[in-house]
């Protein structure tokens, strides 16, 4: 996110940003450029199913009277025609609209194939009804049963698919919801007035009370408090804020009261910029063409071409009355009953199995490309290691302070933070009964450490990069020794001089080694990301068998790294925190640690409920098994057309074999049963 400042944004206030997030709540799906509302689709499914019940009771199935088929109902065939017409025109509307979009885009796919099938079934059924009314002994078979069930199944299948796709927009809604609706605006006379956040402007002052959300990015002008930025940074949960410190809109104020001058709103705010990155990356993913749509497109061209050709040929040979049933048989066989369910049925089974194994699937499309993943980028702390740092060494490097003094000063500075490194120091101080000292002017140094005043002296806790960039002398050999042992090293500095060193160690997760080996066995290269020093990162990497390490990282570097690795192949990203959400969304497959922030979880395609990286191995195995089932189902759902369509077109009529519409409908229904059974056989 380092390049956010260079992004061009149109003017938008906080209310507009909130509405942008709310717009994502409208469950929509795009087919051929046409958007459909999920609520409308559900309503059409309910109405169509209700109408289908009496139609099934009154209409023969594939020309055969079933035990439950009713007879001798007055105007029975006209009632069936009326029910079928409502189902066709009302329930089929989404498919007509989708087909129009695909036609305009010149990209036939599932919607045009469905429209072709239900239109042929309806028109021929109307023709059959009229012919049977005019000549009762004609016994022309209609396809109202097939029409109704096809519309119902297609609506159901697309609802399942839409559920998976539209959840991807929830990250944007989560970001917008972090901003409160009201703010306490401070007037020049010191009085306050509550007003909508959408009416705030840069330069306004707002009062933020204890436990309230900060309404906008700004600068603290008075007061002191601690702020929970976990939802925004994914790093420390409590950061000390006082005069001249910056605060981020959406973060949670602690127990203090502060007055904040607003410095950025709308598209210029931190949340809006992250929101834009997440939304852009997710919209790019949602446009990926599924294999089912590709197959449907091929099948559409095949059925249309062969059907028309068959009608022309047999019209010339035996006349139109003879050719019409042949062409109808071709179109009926191509009806995508099974094809429409091939992916949704497997997806539903896949999601259920994944949930049972601690994997929450939020967006399945990236998992269809699991075989193409070449790199797995992941954080070190909390993903490969436990994230529970323990102090292994405390050392004073000057006679002015003892080791106990160093620990006391550092613990005092870190007293307002729950960052893993800070907690390690505080736990060590507590264990050694070290008393904290009086402090003032505590200030967080973003991405570096913390500073404050104790006994009239200003101290800072920093990493080795800070010493190098500020040309502060330190014992490099001692640092190398500590880092080589796998420690994260922090320095206590005062008056541009190092006075103390603390080395902390983190334990590698028990399942991490096997996890890395499993990735490598799948020909996926693991890449470790960390803000830690290179020596410590390399030691952990050596233990785990990781050869590619990216150290000294700032939170904003991750999305850029994902883009860099995507130049070499498909990328899987594992992370947490809002700072990870652009990287999770940008990656070809984003996986969030279950203990991470809500926004990171919403931005990811998959969430590891148990926060165990080894579950990624289970995900890969299950995803690959799912893809095999999808391909099998697509073959069952459409592959039989390779033989059935030529037969329906009459290729064997000269040899005395003719495939009539009833047999075509039976084949179509049989493929649906096979697809359903095959989907249920999916297991981990």
Active site residues: 379
Nearest CA-CA partner of 152 in 296, 49, 53, 59: 49
Tokens of 433: 């009964």
Burial track 276-315 (b if 16+ CB lie within 10 A, e otherwise): bbbbebbeebeeeebebbebbbebbebbbebbeebbeebb
- Distance between CA 149 and CA 337 in Å, rounded? 8
Residue 668 half-sphere exposure toward CB, CA atoms < 13 A: 30
> Which residues is 593 bridged to in the sheet?
608
List the Cα angle 487/493/497 in 5-degree steps.
Answer: 115
- Distance between CA 536 and CA 448 in Å, rounded? 17
Q: Torsion-angle region of residue 269: left (phi > 0), alpha (psi -120 to 50) or beta? A: beta
CB 314 within 8 A of CB 659: no
**CB neighbours (10 Å) of residue 596?**
27
DSSP conformational letter for 532: S
Tokens of 169: 């927009």
Is beta strand 252-253 parallel, antiparallel or unpaired with respect to 225-228? antiparallel
Distance of CA 348 to the CA centre of its chain: 16
Phi then psi dihedrals of residue 35, to 5 deg: -95, 135
Nearest CA-CA partner of 524 in 467, 447, 588, 592: 588
* Nearest-10 Cα torsion for 8, 579, 357, 565: 70
């Amino acid at each position: 996110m380092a390049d956010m400042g260079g992004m061009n944004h149109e003017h938008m206030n906080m209310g507009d940003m909130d509405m942008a997030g709310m717009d994502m709540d409208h469950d929509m799906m795009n087919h051929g450029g046409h958007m459909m509302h999920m609520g409308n689709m559900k309503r059409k499914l309910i109405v169509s199913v209700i109408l289908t019940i009496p139609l099934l009771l009154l209409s023969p199935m594939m020309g055969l009277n079933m035990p439950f088929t009713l007879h001798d109902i007055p105007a029975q065939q006209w009632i069936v025609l009326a029910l079928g017409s409502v189902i066709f025109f009302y329930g089929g509307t989404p498919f007509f609209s989708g087909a129009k979009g695909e036609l305009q885009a010149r990209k036939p796919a599932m919607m045009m194939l469905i429209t072709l099938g239900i239109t042929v079934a309806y028109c021929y059924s109307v023709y059959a009804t009229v012919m049977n009314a005019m000549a009762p002994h004609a016994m022309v078979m209609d396809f109202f049963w097939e029409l109704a069930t096809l519309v119902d199944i297609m609506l159901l299948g697309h609802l399942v698919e839409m559920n998976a796709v539209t959840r991807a927009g929830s990250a944007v809604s989560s970001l917008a919801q972090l901003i409160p609706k009201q703010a306490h605006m401070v007037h020049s006379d010191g009085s306050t007035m509550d007003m909508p956040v959408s009416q705030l402007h840069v330069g306004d002052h707002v009062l933020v009370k204890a436990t309230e959300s900060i309404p906008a990015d700004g600068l603290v002008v008075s007061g002191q408090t601690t702020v929970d930025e976990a939802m925004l940074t994914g790093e420390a949960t409590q950061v000390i804020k006082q005069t001249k410190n910056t605060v981020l809109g959406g973060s949670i104020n602690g127990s203090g009261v502060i007055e904040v001058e607003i410095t950025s709103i709308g598209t210029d705010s931190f949340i809006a910029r992250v929101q834009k990155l997440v939304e852009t990356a997710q919209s790019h993913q949602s446009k990926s063409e599924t294999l089912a749509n590709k197959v449907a497109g091929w099948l559409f061209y095949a059925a249309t071409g062969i059907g028309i050709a068959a009608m022309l040929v047999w019209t010339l040979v035996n006349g139109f009355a003879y050719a019409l049933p042949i062409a109808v048989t071709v179109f009926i066989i191509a009806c995508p009953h099974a094809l429409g369910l091939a992916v949704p049925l497997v997806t539903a089974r896949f999601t259920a199995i994944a949930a049972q194994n601690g994997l929450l699937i939020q967006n399945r499309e990236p998992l269809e490309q699991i075989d193409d993943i070449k790199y797995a980028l992941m954080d070190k702390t909390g993903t490969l290691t436990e994230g529970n740092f323990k102090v292994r060494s405390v050392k004073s490097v000057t006679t002015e302070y003892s080791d106990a003094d160093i620990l006391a000063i550092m613990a005092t500075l870190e007293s307002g933070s729950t960052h893993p490194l800070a907690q390690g120091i505080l736990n060590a101080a507590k264990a050694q009964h070290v008393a904290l000292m009086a402090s003032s002017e505590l200030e967080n140094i973003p991405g570096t450490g913390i500073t404050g005043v104790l006994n009239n002296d200003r101290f800072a806790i920093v990493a080795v990069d800070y010493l190098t960039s500020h040309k502060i002398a330190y014992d490099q050999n001692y640092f190398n020794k500590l880092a080589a042992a796998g420690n994260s090293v922090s320095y206590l500095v005062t008056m541009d001089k190092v006075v103390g060193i603390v080395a902390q160690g983190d334990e590698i997760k028990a399942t991490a080694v096997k996890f890395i080996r499993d990735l490598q066995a799948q020909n996926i290269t693991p890449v470790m990301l960390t803000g830690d020093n290179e020596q410590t990162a390399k030691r952990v990497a050596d233990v785990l068998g990781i050869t590619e390490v990216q150290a000294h990282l700032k939170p904003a570097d991750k999305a850029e790294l994902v883009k860099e690795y995507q130049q070499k192949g498909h990328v899987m990203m594992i992370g947490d925190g809002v700072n990870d959400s652009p990287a999770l969304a940008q990656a070809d497959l984003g996986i969030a640690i279950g203990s991470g922030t809500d926004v990171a979880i919403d931005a990811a395609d998959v969430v590891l409920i148990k926060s165990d990286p080894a579950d990624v191995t289970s995900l890969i195995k299950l995803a690959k098994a799912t893809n095999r089932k999808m391909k099998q189902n697509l073959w069952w759902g459409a592959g039989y057309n390779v033989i059935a369509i030529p037969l329906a077109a009459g290729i064997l009529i000269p040899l005395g074999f003719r495939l009539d519409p009833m047999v075509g409908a039976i084949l179509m229904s049989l493929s649906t049963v096979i697809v359903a059974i095959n989907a249920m056989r999916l297991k981990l």
